[in-house]
Structure formats: structure tokens, C-alpha cells
Chain A
Amino acid sequence: MDALLVDSFEKLLQGACSPAIVREVERTADASALWATIEASGYLDLLLPGEGGAGLREAFPLWLACGHHTLPVPLAQTMWARGVLGADAGAGAIAIAPTVQRRSDGSWHCPGVPFGAVAQSLLLHTPEGPSCVPLAAARVQRSGVHGSLQADIVLGALPDSGPCGNADLQVAGALITATLMAGALQRLLAMTLQYANDRAQFGKPIGKFQAIQQQLAVLVEQAFAARMAAELGCAETGVMPQRLRAAVAKARAADAAEKAVAIAHAVHGAIGVTDEFDLQLVTRRLQEGRGDHGSASYWHAQLGRALLAAGTPTVPFLLEVLLPGPAARDGGVA
């Protein structure tokens, strides 16, 4: 990935996605101004087929940045949907449906869609493959969880063929969530370190206390592990994730978030849970992300099933099935 491209993306988010704007979008579910800036930047088309052949490994640092800034719109999901569907992708912000259920009244329900409250289109699966449905005529109901942009979506018209199982979308949704979480964990670490240096008690910064230092070391470890797992999941030259690597990414991010959020709040004390302090923007997103597109246990079961079915010892399974072969890594990630 071109470092300049990543830098200018960082600058874009710094300017367009301040904590005040994140709060505003979470309050109103109106992200039109923010989305217009993102749309104009051209980054949404990074994965378009034929556009210089960018794949998940190029998207990785950008998705990390989205997580770092707690971007309140599905930029990563839209980028991926455009990469898969090209010109057929829907207009505006695209959310990914984790699941689609037929109700007795004939309607189609998509519960718990991450960023569903700020999306204009919904990506779901049909027998012909992934397809985008405009949400203009859909009923979008925010989850009611404070600050959450998750929504239950009830669709009116569907593509003729109707929706079907969405294994690929589930995998992509999980990997994107994992990468956003890895980025959020880096922000969490930076904020917590800063606070440990700034806050003084007993006459010295609390970061000088060994009990705090030991916890911060664990926080770094968890942030590093989640980032490596996400990078592993994104180690693709194309746009389609590999199921088991995405499973590792999502499961590891969820386990890391559990520990890291607890440490960050422990170090911050009461200020960490106040509305006006920015930590909660990150920790709420991390806690919600743990469940989005399947929790740790969901993906652990998938991984365990694959490992047992393979019949090989663990290290050969890692090397020959789970980890990427040389081709996916040639050139590495910038």
C-alpha cells in the first residue's frame, strides 16, 4: 500500500471525523455531510475491479484507520461491496446484512445490521450471488442501544430471486469488523497510555506504578495480537477473504477487546465512562463489535470443526490450510 495514500486517508478522517461529529452522527443517525466528504475523496472505489488490482491487503491499513477514528459510517463495508459488485453496487453507504430471515407475513427481516441506521443500501445474498438493495423504501429501526448505529431492517421489495444463505458476506462482515476493532484497539492503547502519563495520584503519574504498568503491557500485547490477526485475515491479493483466516481475525479481536476494554477503563477510572470523555466512543464500539457478524465462540466453533475434520496435527494444519501461502504475501503489506 502506498504510504502517501494511507497518510492522506488518515488526514481525511482527522478532519472529517472528529469526536464531535461521531457523537452527532450517533445522536441523529444523519451522516450525510460526512458521507459526502468520503464519497468525494474517491477512497470508496479502491477495490473496484480493474482499478490497479487493489485487494484486501491494500484495504487493511485504511480499515484500521476507520476503526482508529471510530468512523460512524460503513466506509469499509461500502468499499468492499463496490469491490465485489462493481457498478452494480448500490448508491450511498452500504451496510452488510449478517443474516436474512423470512417472516410469516412474507416480509424479509435483517436483524442487527451494523451501521444499518446510516446506510442507504444493504448488501445481502441471493441465489445469483451478492446483491444490493436500496433502503429508501425499507423500515429501518435503530436497536435502541445507546449510541449504537445498529438497526433492524425490514425490506419491502427484494430482487426476484430473493435472499439466500450468505456465508461469504458473513465472512467479509466478520473480517471488516475485526479490522475496525484492531484499529480501535490501537486508539484505545494510545488514549490509555496518555492518560496514565497525565493523571497523577500519590504525587506521581499513575503510569509510574508497577500495577498500572503491568496492565498496560497486557493491553499492548492484546492490541498487537488483534492487529496481527486482522492483517492475517486481510492477507489477500483479491477482495474475497479466506473463511478460516477471517474467523481467526474476528475471534481474536473479540478476545482482545474483552481484556483491553477492561484494562482501559480500569486505568481511566470514573472519567472513562463519562459521556464527554472520548474513551467511551471507542469502548462502546469495541464491545458491540465483539458480537457483530458472529462472536468469538461462533467463529471458534467453525475453526474447531475445520481442525478436527482435517485429521492433521495442528502445525501442519496451520501451515497447509489456515495460513496464507507465499503468493498472498509476495510484496507484503506496506
Chain B
Amino acid sequence: MLSPLQLSRIPDRAETLRPAVRAFLAEALAGRPADRLARSWMGFDAAFSRALAARGWVGLTLPREYGGGGKDAFHRFVLAEELLARGAPVSAHWIADRQSGPLILKYGSSAQKDFFLPKICAAEAFFCIGMSEPQSGSDLAGLRTRAARTAEGWVLKGQKLWTTNAHRAQYMIALVRTSGSPEDRHQGLSQVIVDLSLPGITVRTIGDLAGDAHFNEVFFDDVQLPADALVGEEGAGWAQVTAELAFERSGPERIYGSIVLFDAWLGHLRSLQRASESDLILAGKLLAHLAPLREMSLALTARLAEGASPVIEAALVKDLGTEFEQALPNLLADALYASPEGPPPEMLLRTLHYVLQVCPTFSLRGGTREILRGVIARALGLR
């Protein structure tokens, strides 16, 4: 049985970070329109990421010896919360900061740490995650991309799909098969770091329904990887990925994905100076769902800070969080068109429709809703 998430508090030492981040963002994001900010952690801006890195805010939890901030999970929560609350375009460094960096720190060789971690902290190396394949989405263990050992290292052959930022990241950490066959499921999988500038790699961008292009198909045509491309243990890829997904699923990005739209709507209501009773109820309903979600997300952070890997609880909070993120634009759309006075102001309209268009993906990436509920059911002893 799961034990409940308990109310936690952010230590003062981590809260001291908040005013500095808020002041920086007030300046750095001034004048950016809401429909751009609404892209938030899907918004790619390398210059912005480097500006954060210059302040020590990329790789905040990585050790100082690698150029990191040497801070704990609470500091990262504060930083992430402030960035997401404003819709800061953090996509360029987000995956490296959240997943790849901690993964390399935990499982990488000292040479890998020395090489990659300082680049991540400087926002010079952006990462993407190669998991899904054409025939392997939720059923990740069935993947077919293979890295075969050679005298010099590995030769990589296969294809990844839906890889966010593969066209603008320098590196991919790919989950690949290094032994056995897809029938061996979780056995024989390993993680390799792929330098995306190597010969034999083709990246094709896939446009999305909102007019953006963030994900890609990536082809590996006998790509020669050096021996030290392997990160962690050969054959331990599945366990490593599971631990990594706890990082991916536990952050506040899974509750604040629609917050820019919510604030834009609140601003609209305030400017009208006449919110209807149903608008008040809607605003309060969303707030009443967000407040405990935020505290649950913080409770996960407290468990991470204790050194635990709250895989199940992270799945639970992510499922609840994405449900909130998806309900928000739909409820606001209904409220905004409840009177026949015409569409909302242009910027609010564009922000609303951007979030409406992309919100189905909130419960897809990082594990679908159905997969997450399966993870929870397993923890309940039902599977």
C-alpha cells in the first residue's frame, strides 16, 4: 500500500533563491507575449538558457566540481516553480538539467562526468531523450534500435521517433538493445550517449498542430559510437530509465503547464471589472485543485531530497497534475465563450487556443495516463 504524501516545507536556505529568480525573470521576460510564454518548458531559447546558466541556474543540483550549483532538490523546486510560473522558455536546457545531468552523475564514468556535466551547467550541451520508436511507444521494452559491440566501440542501427529537440540538441541519451531480442523485454537494454553530429545520423523534424516543430524522427544508419558511449551498466538500461522517469514525472512542470493561460484569463477578468459568479467559482475551483497539487509536488521533492526515488507517487501526482492542466483550458474556453459578445481579446484568444491545441499531449509525454495508472495499480498489488 502507498503511504500518503505529507505536507512538507521548503527550507529557508532554498527559499532565499526565489526573489533573485523572480527579479531576473521580470526583466528577462518583459514584453514577451502570453502566447509565447504559454509554451513554457516547450519553448526553446538557447540565449535565455545561457543567461540562466551565467547565473548558476542550470545544473543547480549538480556538484560544484562540475560547474553545478551544489544545491539540493528544494532549491531546484523553487527555481523550477518560478520559471514555470512565468512561462520561461526553458526547453533548451530542461532535459539535460532535469534528467540527463543527474543520470550521468549517478551512472556515468568519471570521464563522462568530467566531459558532459560542465557543458550542461554552462548550457553549451543540450540533450534529448531517445526512447520511443515507430513500433515501441508505451510498450517501451519492445524497442528495436540496436547497439552492437565492435572492436572500437559500438555500431548503432535503428530509429527513434517523437524525440523532442533532437534537431537542436547536441546529444541524445538513447535507450537501445545491446543484447537479446525484443522478446527479452527489459533484459538486454542499455543507455548510450549519442553525439548527434556523428556521420550516419539523420534528423527529420515533425511539425505539430500548433505550428511548432519540437519533435523529430531520428535515423541511425550504422553510426560508429566510441566504447565510452555506454552510460552506466550494459543491460541495466531499464532500471536506469525507471529511476530517470521519477525525475521527469515528479517536477512542478506537471502542474503548471497551463498556468500562463490561467493568469492571462485572470488578468482579463480583472480588466473587465465584472466577473460573473460562475467565473468566480471557476477561478476558485482551479485554485482549489492547484493548491494541494503544488503541495503534493513539493512532498515528492522532499522525498527526492531524502534520497528516495518516489516512482509511484510521481506517477500519481503527474496523472493528477496533467488532468488539471488539461481541464483548465477546456473550462476557460467554455467560460470565455459563454456570452455571445464575441471572442476574447486577441492575445488571450491566441494563448487559449495554443493551450487547447497542445493540451492532449500533457498526458502523453513522459508516460501516458493509462501507463501511469498501471504503475499505480501495480503498487496497489493489483498487477
A contacts, CB < 8 Å to B: 186, 193, 196-197, 207-208, 210, 212-214, 216-218, 220-221, 224-229, 231-232, 235, 245, 247-248, 251-252, 255, 296-297, 299-308, 311, 313-318, 322-323, 326, 329-330, 332-333
Interface membership of B269, Cβ < 8 A: yes
A-contact bits for B277-294, CB 8 A (1 contact / 0 none): 101111111011111111
**A318 pairs with B291, CB closer than 8 A:** yes
Mark each residue of chain B from 294 to 318: 1 if its CB lies under 8 Å from any CB of chain A, else 0: 1110010000000000000000100
Q: In the complex the two chains form, is A228's CB within 8 Å of B299's CB?
A: yes
- CA of A300 to CA of B15 in the docked complex: distance in angstroms? 29
Per the bound structure, the CA–CA distance linking A38 and B185 in Å amounts to 57
| A-B pairs with beta carbons under 8 A, tally | 177
Partner of B319, one of A221, A231, A245: A221
Are A232 and B85 within 8 A (Cβ)? no
Interface pair B275/A308, CB less than 8 Å apart: yes
Query: Could you tell me the distance in whole angstroms from the C-beta of B86 to the nearest C-beta in chain A?
Result: 8
Specify which chain B residues have a CB less than 8 angstroms from the CB of A235 in the assembled complex.
Answer: 7
B198 at the interface (CB under 8 A from A): no
Verify if B6 is at the interface (C-beta below 8 Å from A): yes
Residues of chain A with a CB closer than 8 A to B296's CB: 224-225, 228
- Whether B269 lies near A308 (C-beta < 8 A) is yes
- Complex Cα distance, B319 from A315, in Å, reads 20
- Once A217-B373, A217-B376, A307-B287 are accepted as A-B contacts, the answer to whether A225 and B292 lie under 8 Å apart by CB is yes
Cross-chain contact A318 with B316 (CB below 8 angstroms): no
Which one, A213, A232, A303, contacts B283 given CB within 8 A? A303
Q: Which residues of B sit under 8 angstroms from A317, Cβ to Cβ?
A: 287
Contact assessment for A307 and B284 in the assembled complex, using a CB-CB cutoff below 8 Å = yes
Comparing B48-56, B89-97, B256-264, the segment that makes contact with chain A is B256-264
B32 at interface, CB cutoff 8 A: no
Q: Is B9 an interface residue (CB 8 A)?
A: yes
CB distance from A254 to the nearest CB of B (A): 9
Distance, CA A183 to CA B280, complexed state (A)? 29
Taken together as a complex, chains A and B put the C-alpha atoms of A196 and B370 apart, in Å, by: 19
- A301, B263: Cα distance in complex, Å: 17
List residues of chain B with CB within 8 A of the CB of A207. Answer: 382
Out of A208, A232, A255, name the residue touching B7 (CB < 8 Å). Answer: A232
Set A308, A318, A333: member contacting B290, Cβ < 8 A: A318
Residues of A within 8 A of B287 (CB): 248, 303-304, 307, 314, 317-318, 322
Kindly supply a per-residue 1/0 record for chain B positions 313-330, scoring 1 wherever the CB is within 8 Å of any chain A CB and 0 otherwise.
000100110000000000
Residues of B346-375 whose CB lies within 8 A of A: 370, 372-374
The answer on a CB contact under 8 Å between A305 and B380 is no
Q: How far is the CA of A306 from the CA of B259 in the complex (A)?
A: 17
| Chain B residues closer than 8 Å to A252, beta-carbon distance | 288-289, 291-292
Contacting pair A311 B289 (CB below 8 A): no
Return chain B residues, CB-CB under 8 Å to A304: 275, 279-285, 287
Q: Identify which of B262, B293, B370, B376 contacts A225 (C-beta below 8 A).
A: B293
Total count of chain B residues near the partner, CB < 8 A: 52
Given A303-B288, A308-B275, A213-B263 contact (CB < 8 Å): no
B263 touches A313 (CB 8 A): yes
Complex-state Cα separation, A192 to B288, whole angstroms: 26
A251 touches B285 (CB 8 A): yes
Q: Which residue in A197, A214, A224, A300 is a CB contact (below 8 Å) of B285?
A: A300
- For the complex, what is the distance from the CA of A194 to the CA of B171, rounded to whole Å? 48
> A311 — which chain B residues lie within 8 A by C-beta?
270
Pairs A–B under 8 Å by Cβ, sample size 14: A225-B289, A227-B5, A228-B4, A251-B288, A255-B285, A255-B288, A301-B281, A303-B285, A304-B280, A305-B280, A308-B270, A308-B283, A332-B7, A332-B8
A208 adjacent to B382 (CB under 8 Å): yes
Question: B377 near A: Cβ within 8 Å?
Answer: yes
**Closest Cβ neighbor of A228 among chain B residues:** B292
- Asked if A314 and B275 sit within 8 Å, CB to CB, the answer is no
By a CB distance below 8 angstroms, the chain A residues around B382 are 193, 196-197, 207-208, 212-213, 216
Asked if B266 is at the interface of the complex by the 8 Å CB criterion, the answer is yes
Chain A nearest CB from B33 CB (Å) reads 16
18 additional A-B pairs beyond A304-B275, A308-B283, beta carbons within 8 Å, are: A210-B374, A213-B380, A214-B370, A221-B316, A224-B320, A228-B4, A228-B299, A248-B291, A300-B283, A300-B285, A301-B277, A301-B280, A304-B287, A307-B283, A308-B270, A314-B85, A314-B266, A318-B290
Q: Are A228 and B275 in contact (CB under 8 A)?
A: no
Closest CB of chain B to A209's CB: distance in Å?
A: 9
Q: Which of B7, B290, B376 contacts A220 (CB 8 A)?
A: B376
Q: How far is the CB of A136 from chain B (nearest CB, A)?
A: 39
> Distance (Å) between the CB of B323 and the closest chain A CB?
8
Whether B316 pairs with A300 at a CB distance below 8 angstroms is no
Which of A247, A306, A332 is close to B6, meaning CB atoms less than 8 Å apart? A332
Are A221 and B6 closer than 8 Å at their CB atoms? no
CB distance from A194 to the nearest CB of B (A): 11
Closest chain-A Cβ to B166's Cβ sits at a distance in Å of 31
B2 at the A interface (CB under 8 A): yes
Contact B4 A227 (CB under 8 A): yes
Complex Cα–Cα for A231 and B296 (A): 11
The 5 closest A-B pairs by CB, nearest first: A303-B284, A304-B284, A300-B284, A304-B280, A304-B283
B133 at the A interface (CB under 8 A): no
Q: How far, in angstroms, from A33 to B377 measured CA to CA in the complex?
A: 41
Is A326 within 8 A of B383, CB to CB? no
Against A, the Cβ 8 Å flags (1 = close, 0 = not) of B1-26 are 01011111100100100000000000
